[in-house]
Amino acid sequence: MTDDLTSLLRAPASVDLTTLDSRATPGFDGGKADGQHALKDELGDVLALRQEQLYARGTTGARERVLLVLQGMDTSGKGGTIAKVAGLMDPLGVRVASFKRPTPEELEHDFLWRIEKQVPAAGMVGVFDRSHYEDVLVARVHALVPAPELERRYDAIDAFERRLVDDGVTVVKCFLHIDLDDQRERLAARLDDPAKHWKYDPGDLDERARWDDYQRAYEVAIERCSSAPWTIVPSGHKWYRNWAVGQVLAEAMEAMGLDWPEPGFDVDAERARLAATD
């Protein structure tokens, strides 16, 4: 296993998703059982420790926070990744935001208005299930806005993420890459299992028919909005996807140099006071 998966999966300056194998497992030599073990029993300890330190520092005025952005086609596994990766951390310090079709109130504001409201507070790990990128993906594929407005949005997203980084946010962006066959199998599985019917949306097939348009929209978004760099995570194997996102997140949090905050009191004095209560 690599100790620098982030660099291995970093999106190139020019992106062609058709050349990327969704079922590749770069940086990992084992199979499914190995990946599940590595995520739960190895990365789990790292993520739990760093997230607790991050939260503790937030209570003492430190500004650090983390934002994990998950994007991908329908069935790429955004929800599954959240359950398996974010689920390894204390829910007290994790906030998940999911972005659906904008509400009438949200449409009255700039597209980033609803996003900015969900930026994690100091000490928190924020997770975006879809994100501000929907406004240059769906909007592009369905031609919902004029070309000049689309161009403005790319620039606005890049500037927004640059502001986040300048304000102490560690931004981790993962594109969960699947291909048409992966999606077909997963949609079929939802139809075959009554327990998964609630996950199936007939509209997914309408969007599937625009697959090539969406792939191009993602390529452009990844290329144009790179102030906070992207990682492209092969997601044909769910176990690898989960491990890879966990590893990339762990690497980002390790790089933050987190530690326990210094106490705002005299430890020895408080120990003496406590002893005096016996």
pLDDT of residue 239: 98
Strand 169-177 versus strand 125-129 pairing type: unpaired
The DSSP code sequence of 183-209 is HHHHHHHHHH-GGGGGG--THHHHHHT
Query: Could you tell me the CATH number of the domain that includes residue 112?
Result: 3.40.50.300
Intervals of the chain under pLDDT 70? 1-2
Nearest CA among 65, 68, 66, 170 for reference residue 122: 65
pLDDT of residue 267: 96
Nearest CA among 68, 92, 93 for reference residue 82: 68
Nearest CA among 171, 216, 214, 177 for reference residue 76: 177
How many residues belong to the chain? 278
Range of the domain at 125: 5-275
As a whole number of angstroms, the distance between CA 179 and CA 189 comes to 16
Q: What is the separation of C-alpha 73 from the centre of its chain, rounded to a whole number of angstroms?
A: 14
pLDDT of residue 1: 67
Helices (H), 111-210: 113-116, 134-141, 147-166, 180-192, 203-208
Q: How many domains does the chain have?
A: 1
Three-state SS at 10 = strand
Q: Residue 246: CA atoms inside 13 Å, Cβ hemisphere, count?
A: 31
Residues paired with residue 94 on neighbouring β-strands, in sequence order: 125
As a whole number of angstroms, the distance between CA 278 and CA 276 comes to 5
